[in-house]
Structure 1
Amino acid sequence: MLPLVYHPIYSELELPDGHRYPISKYRRLYQYLIDEMKLDQDNEILFCQPEAIGVDELKALHHPDYIEALFGNTLPAAKMRRIGFPWSQQLVKRTLTSTAGTKMAVDLASQYGIGIHLSGGYHHAHHDFGSGFCLVNDLAFAARHALTLDNIDKVMVIDCDVHQGDGTATLLRDDDNIITFSVHCDKNFPARKPASDIDLALPKHTTTTEYLETFESILNLALAQHQPDFIIYDAGVDIHQHDELGYFDVCLDGIFRRDHLVLSRCQKADIPIAAVVGGGYRQDHQQLVELHAQLVHAARKVYHSG
């Protein structure tokens, strides 16, 4: 069984004309999975819809004052500009629902071995501030939730978004049972990159072959050294050669091979994995759909074929 988590609210957010964030990509991805891949007709696919978490659930991860100000619309304008979204009640609902979706993917993965969230990856949110389109850190929230499950004593967050997971690194740096592993471009946002437990910083214009060979080597070492009981995987596609905010030269097949590598390692080692689609940026949002769909293609190949 391959569980996919989705909610229509992910793309139901009005943004100013020309806004950089590709808000429609979630709806487009879901529609592609239904229309082109016909997943709604596949008995091995389970579509799940999350319900928003409560605001108070976030206060154990983020500073309570930040959460109160963020969701109560009293955050200073400069801090909202750092996040990059105009405040709205719909933004609040979307944030709480998307965070719930990543948490749900963890629960589904604990049951089925894998859970994929068709949103998520908001790794630039720190303890007391948001940044880079990230209000709260669903990866850190989900990692801590995973530790509450039976037989889960160590969690690894594998973040393959082109941008370093700075918020995840700072939020979880004192959690000895959570390993943060970020694979990113060395000369890209954020300018300041606090240390993850493992940082693989690659130069601009890294090719598909260079990316996969280096990543596979470090991934194998990381899994052997830390032996996690659970993995949370950010499958960002902004590593693609035509991404507008990335600087790598990785092709479409390279994204599939990266996702297949991570998923197959987990499946063979019997490690549950919760994956999120992460970042990807194009003015034409439809161009992102096939890139994000590679995660689902890889999951079907790994988990359906055994």
Structure 2
Amino acid sequence: MDKYTLLPEQLLYEGTVTEQQFFTAEPLTEEAILRTHTAAYWTKLRDNTLTRKEARAIGFPMRPDLVARGRVIAQGTLECARFAFRDGVALNIAGGTHHAFADHGEGFCVFNDIAIAANELLHTGEVERVLIVDLDVHQGNGTASLFAQEPRVFTFSMHGARNYPARKERSDLDIGLPDQTGDEVYLDTLRRHLPGLLDGVQPDLVFYLSGVDVLATDKLGRLSMTLQGCKERDRFVLESCHRRNLPVAIAMGGGYSDRLATIIEAHANTYRVAAGLYD
């Protein structure tokens, strides 16, 4: 998508970030993939042998370059987590592929980057407790499934109740919002739940999926948030974490407004808020 090229250009142009703040990830290791995804699924991806039905569930014809791209995105989220330990916050221009399950992909998601990063950090002992805050408009069904039996990872998804996926998985906390939910109700709901989660879970790290498909202009969203409301959402999440000295790794997630400029502005707001809070 064009946004992955245009967003960095916009951030550099306006001075929100500098060239020195960017990093480029290497492909994720096979070992790290297999901590989250099954060997059978990984073999099919590696050898490009997914069936047509399996590829159709993902949403596009699979090619080796798409698998390679997914490995880099997932490694980027893992590295963001490690940068967040040092700097307080780090953001992946891509990521948020929360519809990928252990044994299959769906909803344009091949690897589950946040799940991979969380599992790797738990394996290495870099964290003992993780909170995933998923505010994409679609429920993080793959993430919920992957961590259903993992008490060290708390999954929170606030999403459109009638939106994709039709069959929801069970997160540790799910909040389904009705169609046309606007800024006031959305933000009030988030304010009533997030502080208690942060204090109750007491995570070593927060993964934040900051999808901008909550906007009223989004073709797939069905909610009615404004750009300013979406920015206030990001501000509340990051201020809440910053106040508690909790490192945050952010993945951009979805955004499907008709105007590309709207998508770029909404994603750029996430960076602007982060830049304003963290020195």
Task: Identify the TM-score tier after normalising by the shorter chain.
Answer: over 0.9
Asked whether 1:207 is paired with 2:177, we answer: no
Provide, for residues 222-281 of structure 1, a one-character-per-residue CA deviation record: whole Å limited to 9, x for no partner. Answer: 122212121000000000110011011110011111111111111110111101111101
Partner of residue 58 from structure 1, selected from 33, 39, 48: 33
Query: Residue 302 in 1 paired to residue 274 in 2?
Result: no
Aligned equivalents of 1:274, 1:189: Cα separation in 2: 24
SS at match of 1:60: coil
Query: In structure 2, how many angstroms separate the alpha carbons of the residues matched to 1:283 and 1:220?
Result: 34
Q: 1:152 corresponds to which residue?
A: 127
After superposition, give the CA deviation of every residue in 1:190-234 in whole Å (9 maximum; x if it has no partner): 001011001111111001010000111111221222121210000
Specify the code of the residue in structure 1 equivalent to 2:5: R
5+ residue gaps in structure 1? 1-22
Moved more, 219-228 or 266-275: 219-228
| Aligned: 1:29 with 2:7 | yes
- Aligned to 1:181, what secondary structure does the other structure show? strand
Q: Kindly, what percent of the aligned residue pairs are identical?
A: 36
Q: In structure 2, give the amino acid aligned to 1:247.
A: R
TM-score, normalised with respect to structure 2: 0.96
Aligned to 1:189: 164
Q: 1:222 to 1:253 in 2, by over 3 A?
A: same
CA positional deviation for 1:56: 3.7
Letter in 2 for 1:212: L
2-side partners of 1:150 and 1:66: how far apart? 26
Task: Name the residue aligned to 1:236.
Answer: 211
Q: Are residue 198 (structure 1) and residue 176 (structure 2) matched?
A: no
CA distance in 2, matches of 1:85, 1:151: 35
Structure 2 residues not aligned, in runs of 5+: none
Query: 1:66 and 1:246 mapped to 2: Cα distance?
Result: 29
- Give the Cα separation in 2 of the matches to 1:171 and 1:40: 36
Q: Which among 261, 270, 274 is matched to residue 286 of structure 1?
A: 261
**Under a length normalisation based on structure 1, what TM-score does the superposition of the two structures give?**
0.88
Contact 1:125 1:131 survives alignment (8 Å)? yes
**Residue 71 of structure 1, CA deviation:** 2.1
Question: Aligned with 2:278: secondary structure?
Answer: helix
- State the alpha-carbon separation in 2 of the partners of residues 132 and 114 from structure 1: 27
**Equivalent position amino acid for 1:27 in 2:** T
Question: Distance in 1 between the 2:124 and 2:258 partners?
Answer: 40
- Judged with a 3 Å threshold, the aligned counterparts in structure 2 of structure 1 residues 46 and 109 are, in CA distance, closer, same or farther, namely same
1:136 is aligned, of 97, 111, 116, to 111
Report SS of the residue matched to 1:280. Answer: coil
1:109 to 71, 84, 103: 84
What is the aligned partner in structure 2 of residue 100 from structure 1? 75
* Count of aligned residue pairs for this structure pair: 279
Contact 1:146 1:230 in 2 (8 A): no
3-state SS of paired residue (1:163): coil
Q: CA deviation at 1:283?
A: 4.4
**Aligned to 2:151, which of 170, 176, 179?**
176
**Letter paired with 2:95:** G
Amino acid across the alignment from 1:199:
D
Output the CA distance in 2 between the equivalents of 1:284 and 1:290: 10
Query: Are the counterparts in 1 of residues 32 and 116 from structure 2 also a CA contact under 8 Å?
Result: no
1:247 counterpart residue number: 222
> What code does the residue aligned with 1:40 have?
T
